[in-house]
Structure 1
Amino acid sequence: MRHLSIDIETYSSTDISFGVYKYTESPDFAILLFAYSYDFGPVEVVDLAQGGVIPDSVIRDLLSPDVIKHAYNAQFEITCLNRAGLLTSVDQWQCTMIHGAYLGYPMGLALLGKALGLPQDKKKDTSGKALIKYFCAPCKPTKRNGGRTRNLPRHDMDKWNAFIEYNRQDVITEMECYHRLASFPVPDDTWKDWYLDIQINSSGVRIDHELVEGALYIDEENREMLMNEAYQITGLSNPNSRNQLLDWLNNNTNVSLDKLTKDTVADALMDADDVAAKVLMIRKKLAKSSVSKYTMTDSAMGSDFRLRGTLQFYGANRTGRWAGRLIQVQNLPRNYIENLDTARHLVKTKNRQGLELLYGDVSDTLSQLIRTSIIAEEGNTLCVADFSAIEARVIAWLSGEHWRQRVFAEGGDIYCASASSMFGVPVVKHGENGHLRQKGKVAELALGYQGGVNALKAMGALEMGLHEEELPEIVNLWRNASPRIRDLWYAVENAAVYTVTTGNPIGLDHGIMFRLEIDPMYGYRYMTIELPSGRKLFYPSPSIKKNAFGKDAVHFKTKVNAAWVTESTYGGKLVENITQAVARDCLALTLRRLADVGYQIIMHIHDEAVLEINKENAESTLNDVNAIFSIDIPWADGLLLSSAGFTNDYYMKD
């Protein structure tokens, strides 16, 4: 088959930060430059902004199933070309960004090029940001530019010619990256997952715009009241100013702080006097960032009130899980308040006083209602189904911790069972020794991946009523009650160290295989972990070095913030990677099964799928969806999965 590598430059008055779907919906959206190369040869650039025309042969090949299309972040190219009338099928594309992520590299063409060590003539052109700002977005009207709001090629031909070369260089860089990744291809099933991901992102979620509008109105009104209240107490010109407030607190109250973070404010509130506590609570409410999700929703949703592009495929490349984008659907606040219908009605009618009267903290209530802004179209409802306790089930299966598997097979409560195993007594929720269930719960949540006392604290053990002096005992009790999981940590760590040290492969149960793999052309080295599904996890540039505890440990290259750095790992962390990756593969297969029988998936979160279904057949559809979730996973013999679900007109945490 032939290969067609593509990169485009575009214009839109809508900011790209609101996602490509909103960006391309703008009436003034246009493709300015179209760069392409056949079979990794010379790059041609079509100057569409100045009347150039894409050759008919290229258009035919864009639509042909016999030509593989390549791009970096190909979802952008696909969406833009579709908007321009070139309706290419996603299954004819391959994305170099996804390929890089699959091999453990960072997202971002410049970062990928740096990680791969591209030679200077193959690197991404660093002048691009300024040129994109000049040609691809509106400009500020000034006397000097004659009051125009957009820069065209004729306004600076030197810059335009440089922009053409920048466009050409992006294709050169993308092709070079493709060649350097090609020795380790992306599995077909992972490409299928990506194709479905584009379909899900393109469908989007329907937004209750009345709820969003009401939430923004109430939030603004509430912030004005809070600011006025803070001003009355402090006399500060801007009580929301970090520096002003710190100075006032340190000089006028019993609080002594050097910074205002979530943790420092929470600590200070424990001993603050009445005045300081009042001001800090106001600050806490004003700083509640989750309410800003309403602003993003309002800005990013389309004219049809659907929000698209909320998922990033392979965004968590240590496991292959998805990441959230725009409103971060993977990290929406939970809803705990009762009677969501009433709360939603009060927000939609912009009744702040009623909301405060019935629910108290307005900011917190608005935050809890963010989930419910996702609704179904008229005549439809949402079907939400998930795997129950999937990580606990997967790690029990991987380790062969049989008593845990029996609990799941019998439909038991894993928190009670864990506490019973730890303390050697029967534990029944709300019954015999029921007080121990909380200890079992926090241990289950914190200790499965080799966590210790600090992990218990991070999981909120102290806030749950446990005492610090009992935490070490809980760690020991849990590990002694789950010896096979403990053994799995060390087996995985030893396998990783052995493979990187000797270069020899080593296998564990369930088809898990550790290998040291080397690119025959470029010499790139990877520690890979083959999963039961056949998919692999890649750890670039592995080496054995002493870790912070003076122990030989696997180190590898990874992205931390915007830097490509060396990081160490250990058995528990690798078990976490494997467990979450297996859980991800279970969900990915189930999503494909749902799509194959025609269900409209609008989003998914870790172990949960959200579908938009016909309201009339809701109950039977839910049963069918749960049945699909319960179909055996062919590569996971003995893995006991269970699903639960519900239907509702708006999204919520059941």
Structure 2
Amino acid sequence: MQTLSIDIETFSDVDLIKSGVYAYTASPNFEILLFAYAFDSDEVKIIDFASGEELPAEIIEALLNENIIKSAFNAQFERICLSRHLNKKLTANAWQCTAVQAATLGFPLSLDGVAQVLGLTEQKMKEGKELIRYFSIPCKPTRVNEGRTRNLPQHSSEKWNDFKKYCIRDVEVERAIRKKLSRYPISENEQRNYILDHEINDRGVFVDLDLVARAMECDRLHKEDTFTEAQRLTGLDNPNSVAQLKQWLIENGVEVDSLSKKAVSDLAKEADGEVERLLNLRLQLAKTSIKKYEAIERAVCPDKRVRGLLQFYGANRTGRWAGRLVQVQNLPQNHLKDLTLARNLVKSGDFDTLALLFESVPHVLSELIRTAFIPKSNHRFIVADFSAIEARVIAWLAGEKWRMDVFATHGKIYEASASQMFKVPIEEITKTSALRQKGKISELALGYGGSVGALTAMGALDMGVAEDELQGLVTAWRQANPNITKLWWDIDKAAIKAVKKKTTVMVGKIKLQYESGIMFITLPSGRRLSYIKPRIEPNKFERDAVTYEGIGATKKWERIETYGPKLVENIVQAIARDLLAEAMLRVAENGYEIVMHIHDEIVIEAPLNFGSLKDVCEVMAIAPTWAESLPLRADGFECEYYRKD
């Protein structure tokens, strides 16, 4: 099949990074400046739109022809921009993305990053960023530039020629990457997932702009009132100033090393009187309740929908989706009993009553962020998510029978875990009992080799667990789950053996394999996780450990150390991702329109007279052929605005 490689350069007065490609192209000032292309291995050509050239008929025909593959790095950008330029929606059916192909192998998410790691002869031009700043975004009017607000080709023919070379080079680099990675094509199933991802992002989700505007107004007025009260209380010009505030606290008998959120919160619990009030005011001033409202406002399109919220294969190690723009993957939870009342008060502008009825206005605004997402007229949301998906997957992988029995019946894993750990009949463990709390925190913290530190980080001490009990919880959980504990170290040994001996090792349903300088872990779905240039090196305990190259905690390309429990975490989360992907395909095939998904949860916008929660949950609970014995369950609710149940 013929392949058309593409790279474009564009202009818009909307910030692409902050607002996303959909809002970027919706601007009336959006335009494509340059279009570089090549069929198969032909020489790269360029069309200079900004200088009056137009797309040849054969290129327009190729863009519309679904029998010709269109290939680009971050192809969603090219597809959306060209759809706007042609005033015709181009579906993702015939598009392939080299960025996704690279991500499936664990490479960086940037074109220059992939080219550098692969050591290609063709490298991205370093001048590109400065040329993009010059031609692709508005400039400040100055006396020197005669007051213009953007730079055109005639303002610097030398830079414009460089910009054209830069655009051509990007096609050459993209094509070189595709050739280098041709041994590892995107599977048909992953391409189906990729196409569905485009459909979901294209659809977007409707937002309540009235709520967004009122929430931001409420936050502004509340901060002004809070700042004024803090000034009146302290007599300071700027009670936000760390230096001024520390001095005021010293004068009031309180010495502090830090005014971090945690330090202030801890101090406020011990203080009283004016000091306690001032510390609580500072906490309110520091709370960023409206960042996501601002993000929604920046990214919203003219039809009041926000698009492009999800990035396919955004999580490098597991292939999970990543949040973009509004970051729906980490929205604050909502626990307010009177959520609808609070929402109505904000929408109506009745901020005084809101402050009267609710203890913290910033906290309320934070909890209402989810509710800014609403279905369009005559529709409702169906929200459904997998129940305890990671706990089910790890039990299935390890063959932990008692856990499988729990998930095949009542599903009360926290109670059952406490029962196994403390040898107490499950009937005696109620929802409010201390044993259930210990079972719950153990389940959340210890599944991937976590120990005392993991329990502490998960908040065990705040939940009332005594520090001297922590090690006992670790021991009890591992004794109750011998097959899971064994799986960690079986995977650890298998990874070391696969890399050391450059061979293939099976651990139950998982295959670990060394191939061409990469350690692959093949999941039951057939998808492979990739660990580049693995080596065996001594860890801090002087034991053999696998290290590999990837994007680490520093967000840079570096050597990363791993071990059995961490690899099991990657495997389990990757399988959970594959289950979500398969479920979304089935849900879509049943006529439901997905508008977004968050971790293991699907949000559907459905007409009032179409479908049901029961139907969606039943579809999601169908195990794929590669996981027939895995007991899946989905639960959910229907609602008139997005929320947590």
> Normalised by the size of structure 2, how large is the TM-score?
0.96
SS at match of 2:93: helix
* Other-structure match for 2:228: 228
Which of 94, 97, 100 matches 1:98? 100
- Structure 2 partner of 1:631: 622
Number of the residue aligned with 2:521: 529
Counterpart CA distance in 2 for 1:430 and 1:480 is: 19
* Deviation per residue, 1:59-108 (Å, 9 max, x gap): 21111122211101000000000011254331111101111111001111
Number of the residue aligned with 1:522: none
**1:552 to 2:544 alignment:** yes
Whether the 8 Å CA contact 2:415–2:430 is kept in 1: the answer is no
* Distance (whole Å) between structure 2 residues aligned to residue 253 and residue 568 of structure 1: 48
How far apart are 1:229 and its partner, in Å? 2.1
Report SS of the residue matched to 1:257.
coil
Of 633, 637, 642, which aligns to 1:642? 633
CA distance in 2, matches of 1:535, 1:528: 10
Amino-acid identity (%): 47
Amino acid at match of 2:490: A
Asked if 1:583 is matched to 2:576, the reply is yes
Alignment CA distance shift 1:171-1:251 (3 Å): farther
Find the counterpart in structure 2 of residue 566 from structure 1: 559
Q: 1:243 to 1:505 in 2, by over 3 A?
A: farther
Change beyond 3 A, Cα 1:133–1:250: farther
CA positional deviation for 1:275: 4.4
Name the counterpart of 1:521. none
Aligned pairs for 1:465-484 within 5 A:
465-484=464-483
Q: Can you list the C-alpha shifts for 1:603-637, whole angstroms capped at 9, x where unaligned?
A: 011111000001134xx522211121122211012
Q: 2:588 aligns with which of 583, 588, 595?
A: 595
- Name the SS of the counterpart of 2:570 in structure 1: helix
Residues 426, 433 of structure 1: 8 Å contact kept: no
**Structure 1 residue aligned with 2:513:** 515
Give yes or no for contact 1:429–1:437 (8 Å, CA) kept in 2. no
- Alignment partner of 1:115 out of 101, 117, 124: 117
Q: 2:246, 2:255 within 8 Å by CA — same for their partners in 1?
A: no
How far apart, in 1, do the equivalents of 2:428 and 2:628 lie? 31
Structure 1 residue 556 displacement after superposition:
0.9
Task: Find the counterpart in structure 1 of residue 237 from structure 2.
Answer: 237
Measured at CA, do residues 515 and 374 of structure 1 come closer, stay the same or move farther in structure 2, by a change above 3 Å?
same
State whether residues 255 and 272 of structure 1, in contact with CA within 8 Å, keep that contact through their aligned partners in structure 2.
Answer: no
The 5-angstrom pairing of residues 46-125 of structure 1 reads: 46-85=47-86, 87-119=89-121, 122-125=122-125
Unaligned runs of 5+ in 1: 519-524
Judge conservation of contact 2:104–2:530 (CA < 8 Å) in 1.
yes
CA distance in 2, matches of 1:434, 1:380: 41
Q: Give unmatched runs, 5+ long, in structure 2.
A: none
Counterparts in 2 of 1:467 and 1:15: CA distance versus 1, 3 Å: same
Q: Which residue of 2 aligns with 1:210?
A: 210
Amino acid at match of 1:293: K
Whole-Å separation in 2 of the counterparts to 1:428 and 1:232: 56
Deviation at 1:226, TM superposition (A): 1.7
Matches within 5 A, 1:274-353: 274-353=273-352
The whole-number CA distance in structure 1 between the counterparts of 2:373 and 2:486 is 43
Tell me how far 1:595 sits from its aligned partner: 1.2
2:438 corresponding residue in structure 1: 439
Q: Which residue of 2 aligns with 1:407?
A: 406
Residue 282 of structure 1 and its aligned partner are, at CA, apart by 2.5
The one-letter amino acid of 1:643's match is A
CA contact (8 A) 1:396 1:402 kept: yes
1:570 CA displacement: 1.1
Query: CA–CA distance in 2 between the matches of 1:638 and 1:290?
Result: 44
**Residues 250, 257 of structure 1: 8 Å contact kept:** no
Displacement after TM superposition at 1:433 (Å)? 9.0
Tell me: CA distance 1:499–1:430, structure 2 relative to 1, closer, same or farther (3 Å).
Answer: closer
SS in 2 for 1:33: strand
Q: Give CA-to-partner distance per residue, 1:150-190, whole Å, 9 cap, x none.
A: 11111111111111111111111111221222221121111
Deviations 1:164-221 (A, max 9, x none): 1111111111112212222211211111111111110110111011111110110000
Matched, 1:652 2:637: no
The answer to whether the 8 A contact 1:63-1:87 is kept is no
| Corresponding residue number in structure 2 for 1:417 | 416
Change (3 A) 1:102 1:235: farther
CA distance in 2, matches of 1:74, 1:173: 14
Whichever residue aligns with residue 550 of structure 1, its letter is E
- Letter of the aligned partner of 1:449 in structure 2? Y
CA RMSD in angstroms, aligned pairs only: 1.7
AA in 1 matched with 2:106? G
Contact persistence 2:99–2:109 (CA under 8 A): yes
Distance 1:180 1:234, change over 3 A: farther
> What per-residue deviation string (whole Å, max 9, x for no partner) do you get for residues 82-137 of structure 1?
01125433111110111111100111112222222233xx1111111111111111
How far is the alpha carbon of 1:418 from its aligned partner?
0.3
Partner of 2:166: 166
- The alpha-carbon distance between structure 1 residues 214 and 394, as it changes in their structure 2 partners (threshold 3 A), is same
Q: Does structure 1 conserve the Cα–Cα contact (< 8 Å) formed by 2:371 and 2:642? A: yes
Relative distance call for 1:592 and 1:551 in structure 2 (3 A) is same
| SS of 2:47 mapped into structure 1 | strand
**AA paired with 1:71?**
A
- The residue type paired with residue 62 of structure 2 is D
- Structure-2 separation of matches of 1:243 and 1:208: 40
| Residue of structure 1 in register with 2:533 after alignment | 541
Mapped to 2, the partners of 1:188 and 1:261 lie a distance apart of: 49
Partner SS for 1:4: strand
- Residue 548 of structure 1 deviates from its aligned partner by 2.3
Shift of 1:239: 2.9
Q: 1:238 and 1:9 mapped to 2: Cα distance?
A: 46
Contact 1:63–1:89 (8 Å) recurs in 2: no
Q: Give yes or no for contact 2:441–2:458 (8 Å, CA) kept in 1.
A: yes
Paired residues, number: 642
Residue type of the partner of 1:55?
P
